[in-house]
Amino acid sequence: MSVKSFYKVFFLTLFATRGFAQNPLLIPETLSGVTLHLTLQNGTYSFFDDLSTPTMGVNGNILGPTLILDQGQEVSIQVTNQLEETTTIHWHGLHVAPENDGGPHTPIPPNTTWNPVFTVLDKAGTYWYHPHLHEKTNEHVSKGIAGMIIVREPEEAALALPRNYGVDDIPMVLQTKDFDEEGQIVVHSNQDDIVMVNATIDPVINLPAQVVRLRLLNGASQRAFHIGLSNNQPFFQIASDGGLLAAPVSMTRLLLAPGERAEILLDLGGMNGQSTYLMSYASELPNGIYGASSPGMAPVMTLDGYNPNPLNGTNFELLQIDVQEAQEEGVFEIPSALVSVSAWNEADATVTRNLLFTPASPGPNQLNGSFRINNQSFDLQVVNYTIPLGNTEIWEIRNQSGIAHPFHIHDVQFYILDRNGVQPPAHERGRKDVVLIRPMETVRFITKFENFSNEDIPYMYHCHLLTHEDDGMMGQFLVVDNTTSTAELRENVVRVYPNPVTDILTVQGISPSHVEIYDALGRLVDQKEMSTVLEEIDLSSLAAGVFYFHVFHDGQAQIFKVIKY
Ligand code: C2O
Ligand code: CU
Ligand code: CU
């Protein structure tokens, strides 16, 4: 029997005979203060007793320390790359300037130090950091680089919530990985059959018989978790990606897609001496989500290597919780209210952007190919959107593919307006930076682009399935400050992109203006009045060919040649 199948059988036996050979849950160390030092390094780690696995980690062999940041504080982070290759470190969910964001445009070559300095502007919540080099994100994350960020602030500190790190406030990085026979981590694999929390396989933790807080992060490359407790006891979600909810939301199941975070409270009061299990109830996942019995919305859509896998479509343990005596200082009640949450007003949005997810090659084999946003693959040289600083915008995202994609945007937190026209459930009405969009679903969210602009360095938006992201399901946007340079704007602000185009063309211009579209023979085929500086024109009904866009302002026209596929 190969090592791998030995472990498979071993773990399956374990699931059947609970309570045997459990490993104490690793709790990452914390780092706080004004200057933080992070060293990216190669290492080895024993996931399995007798095997040593080559890994990547931060200040250690696997994962990274939990950064504890105070809102309003200025922090200087020295990120030293001691890997033998280039990478980046992105602060997922933090609202920082593009040059500090750690996306693909700020590489850290080997043996160099990157030093972002920024003020923490975020709400109290759970964020994370991970590499983001284009086409390498999955490899660097899978091999072990990921860490949590906890932001603290007075509004949260005033609430009666557990916040004793590692005691009643537990960081949990949920991941699945695939290992080969020698114990090496296999990247870009759909055979991720080993589940781990904080790099601990089959973990157990002692928790006090009182209210405890779990900070859940889905740090898996692809897999969604469907969280629940083995006794079906309700738990309470208190925070979504970007901060606290208005009030705790009672639930027995929580779907957590890659990139998403949720803080939950468990009431273990009166359970001293008992054990309970945090589970993923994947058997209840609808098809069309990675982790369900079928990853595609229709069972004919298969994904190479996906089955058999004991984690797909079956319920499995994430964490064994052994309940101990309560502490004197503990929290014993679930609070009834948290913070006031106020979303932006739809009437203040000046732009609606339409994003469409499609498979590169439609049909039953689509899950094995790449996915596109507005029919484009990521190109480091192409800026997909230029967003005026201060804009409030609605993003309307349509998934016309057979699998659910967790959509993530940098720079901002957003509020979900609706899913297929319906207001989301209470636990999705808080601040978010990742939203899972199911097959054939349309999600609209509202957000505002504030504080930071940069003419050269864009922010990213992408699918947080790391295989899809690395395969080009990503785009980028600049946030530009137009307010200071009106004169410059008048001269050469008009831009028409993308070019060539397949469906949706954006005309960025001067308001008000008038656009006329002529075909190659000089015939007027369409026209449009522009009432905002940015308008999207749907060209899907036009035949392929060359078109001329005349953008009129003050009686003057600028002419753009556009190729439509
Ligand atoms: Cu979690 Cu663009 O990343
Ligand atoms: Cu991010
Ligand atoms: Cu995707």
According to DSSP, residue 277 is labeled E
β-bridge mates for residue 27, sequence order: none
Mean pLDDT of 370-374: 98
Residue 517 lies in a domain: yes
Residue 91 above 60 pLDDT? yes
Residue 551 lies in a domain: yes
547 vs 476, higher pLDDT: 476
Give me the amino acid identity at 533. V
Same domain, yes or no: 508 and 550: yes
Question: What's the 407 CA to ligand 3 centre distance in angstroms?
Answer: 8
Same domain, yes or no: 447 and 465: yes
Least confident residue range of 108-112, 381-385, 535-539:
535-539
Mean pLDDT of 177-185: 96
Same domain, yes or no: 452 and 560: no
For 20-83, give the DSSP string. Answer: SS-EEPP---EEESSEEEEEEEEEEE-SSTT--EEEEEESSSSB-PEEEEETT-EEEEEEEE-S
Ligand 1 lined by 460 (C-beta under 6 Å): yes
Q: Determine the 3-state secondary structure of 224 from DSSP.
A: coil
Same domain, yes or no: 350 and 476: yes
Mean pLDDT of 452-468: 97
Least confident residue range of 62-66, 474-478, 557-561:
557-561
Tokens 């994904």 label which residue?
303
Detail the DSSP E strand segments found in 431-498. Answer: 434-437, 442-448, 459-463, 474-480, 495-497
pLDDT at 11: 52
Residue 490 above 60 pLDDT? no
Same domain, yes or no: 473 and 509: no
Same domain, yes or no: 423 and 461: yes
**Closest residue (by CA) to atom 1 of ligand 1?**
92
Same domain, yes or no: 457 and 502: no
Residues with CB under 5 A from ligand 2 (ion): 92, 410
Ligand 1 lined by 259 (C-beta under 6 Å): yes
For 313-367, give the DSSP string. Answer: TSEEEEEEEEEEPPPTT---S--S------PPPGGG--EEEEEEEEESS-STTGG
pLDDT at 132: 98
- What value does the mean pLDDT of the chain take? 92
Residues with CB under 5 A from ligand 3 (ion): 405, 463, 465, 468
Least confident residue range of 143-147, 357-361, 534-538:
534-538
Q: What is the CATH number of the domain that holds 500?
A: 2.60.40.3080
Q: How many residues does the chain have?
A: 565
Same domain, yes or no: 361 and 460: yes
210 vs 543, higher pLDDT: 210
Tokens 């500086």 label which residue?
533
Residue 316 lies in a domain: no
Q: With the C-alpha atoms ordered 473, 366, 502, 541, is the resulting torsion angle positive or negative?
A: negative
Residue 9 above 70 pLDDT? no
Give me the amino acid identity at 129. Y
Ligand 1 lined by 353 (C-beta under 6 Å): no
Q: Determine the 3-state secondary structure of 428 from DSSP.
A: helix
Q: Determine the 3-state secondary structure of 4 from DSSP.
A: helix
Domain coverage including residue 546: 486-564
Question: What's the 409 CA to ligand 2 centre distance in angstroms?
Answer: 6
Number of domains in the chain: 2
Residue 253 above 70 pLDDT? yes
Residue 492 above 80 pLDDT? no
For 158-169, give the DSSP string. Answer: TS-----BTTTE
Same domain, yes or no: 476 and 350: yes
**pTM value > 0.95:** no
Residue 410 lies in a domain: yes
Q: Indicate which atom in ligand 1 lies nearest the CA of residue 410.
A: 2
402 half-sphere exposure, CB direction, 13 A CA radius: 24
Q: Indicate which atom in ligand 1 lies nearest the CA of residue 92.
A: 1
Least confident residue range of 109-113, 276-280, 393-397, 509-513:
509-513
Q: Indicate which atom in ligand 1 lies nearest the CA of residue 460.
A: 2
Q: Which ligand is nearest to the CA of 88?
A: 1
pLDDT at 7: 54
pLDDT at 553: 75
Ligand 1 lined by 408 (C-beta under 6 Å): yes
Phi, psi dihedrals of residue 284, rounded to the nearest 5°: -95, 0
Chosen domain end from 457, 480, 503? 480
pLDDT per position as a tens digit, 318-365: 999 999 999 999 999 999 999 999 999 999 999 999 999 999 999 999
Ligand 1 lined by 134 (C-beta under 6 Å): no
Chosen domain end from 431, 463, 480? 480
> CB–CB of 14/48 below 8 Å?
no
CA distance 465 to 306: 15
Residue 27 lies in a domain: no
Name the residue among 266, 428, 255, 263 with its Cα closest to residue 341.
428
Question: What's the 413 CA to ligand 3 centre distance in angstroms?
Answer: 20
Same domain, yes or no: 352 and 429: yes
Long-range contacts of 369-374 (CB under 8 A, 24+ apart): 370/468, 370/471, 370/472, 370/473, 371/401, 371/405, 371/463, 371/468, 371/471, 371/473, 372/472, 372/473, 373/461, 373/473, 373/474, 373/475, 374/475, 374/498, 374/502, 374/503, 374/504
Same domain, yes or no: 404 and 510: no
Same domain, yes or no: 388 and 461: yes
Residue 488 — very low, low, confident or very high, per pLDDT cuts 50/70/90?
Answer: very low
395 half-sphere exposure, CB direction, 13 A CA radius: 28
pLDDT at 484: 56
Residue 443 above 60 pLDDT? yes
Q: Name the percent of the chain lying above pLDDT 90.
A: 81
pLDDT at 547: 87
Least confident residue range of 2-16, 92-106, 437-451:
2-16
Chosen domain end from 439, 456, 480? 480
Residue 506 above 90 pLDDT? no
Question: What's the 164 CA to ligand 3 centre distance in angstroms?
Answer: 36
